[in-house]
Structure formats: C-alpha cells, structure tokens
C-alpha cells in the first residue's frame, strides 16, 4: 500500500476542521496550531487525505506531536496504517533535526496502542489537558 507524506498547507485547514466536527471534537483555531495550521504533516492514500498531525517545535530537545486527526470516512485498515506512517514520519523528521525527545497526548485507546507498538512509553495514568484563553 502506497502512503504518501506531505506537509500541511493553508488549503488543508477546512478539511481538517470538517474531520474534527465529524469526530465530535471542537475545531481548533488556526492560531492555536503551529505555523497557523501549516506546521504539520498529512498522510495521503490514492489521492485521499487520510490522517494529519501537528508538530510543535521548541528551543529544547523536545518536539510535541499532537492533534492527530483522521478522515472518518476513510477505510479503517488504511487509517490504521496511515496513523502508524504519520507517527513514524514525524519521528524521522524530529530525529533528522537533531532533537532527542517527542511527546504526544491522547485519550484514544487505539492511538495509545499505536504509539506503544512503535516503542513509545505510554503513561497508564490519565491526565487532563488544560487550556486558558487569555
């Protein structure tokens, strides 16, 4: 199966917003996302966008991978493989940049399992995201 990695563009935001709505998530404002919504990667299969995630780069050795979202209309098998491909591609980008650590947050059991299968340390104690709009 050929899965292609591409960099997010301004044109992807509307599609990602629709995915968030379809999964019952709040739509994230562009200015809350890295590079105003373009700081991430997308996996494509046969011309269809399947999954995307955002990379928050820092001045430390840590890069945060988050807001992984998938096309709810995509084939489940393709989606699972695309999520693995997305995380592996992000790992390669981060490693190539010289950074040493990655972190991600999720409450999705399937996403936690993918991370664990790829060698991530998954904390079994749930935590909560806290956001304050100033």
Tokens at 127, concatenated: 């935590």
Cβ contacts of 19 within 8 Å, gap of 6 or more: 52, 69, 70, 71, 72
CA dist 115 and 111 (Å) reads 6
Statement: residue 125 has pLDDT above 90: no
Strand ranges (E), 9-124: 40-45, 48-57, 62-70, 101-103
Span 52-62, pLDDT tens digits:
999 999 999 99
In a domain, 106, yes or no: yes
Span 98-113, pLDDT tens digits:
999 999 988 888 888 9
114 close to 104: Cβ distance less than 8 angstroms? no
| Segments forming the whole domain that contains residue 19 | 4-117
Domain count, the chain: 1
In a domain, 92, yes or no: yes
In a domain, 128, yes or no: no
In a domain, 33, yes or no: yes
Span 7-30, pLDDT tens digits:
999 999 999 999 999 999 999 999
- The residues facing 57 across adjacent strands are 63
15 close to 50: Cβ distance less than 8 angstroms? no
List the CATH number of the domain containing 56: 3.40.630.30
């Amino acid at each position: 199966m050929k899965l292609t990695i591409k960099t997010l563009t301004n044109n992807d935001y509307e599609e990602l917003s629709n995915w968030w709505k379809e999964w019952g998530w709040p739509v994230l404002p562009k200015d809350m996302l890295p590079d105003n919504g373009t700081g991430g990667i997308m996996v494509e299969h046969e011309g269809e966008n399947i999954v995307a995630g955002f990379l928050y780069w820092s001045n430390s050795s840590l890069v945060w991978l988050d807001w992984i979202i998938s096309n709810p209309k995509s084939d489940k098998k393709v989606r699972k493989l695309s999520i693995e491909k997305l995380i592996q591609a992000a790992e390669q980008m981060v490693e190539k940049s010289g950074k040493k650590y990655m972190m991600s947050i999720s409450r999705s059991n399937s996403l936690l399992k993918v991370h664990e299968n790829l060698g991530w340390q998954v904390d079994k104690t749930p935590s909560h995201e806290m956001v304050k709009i100033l």
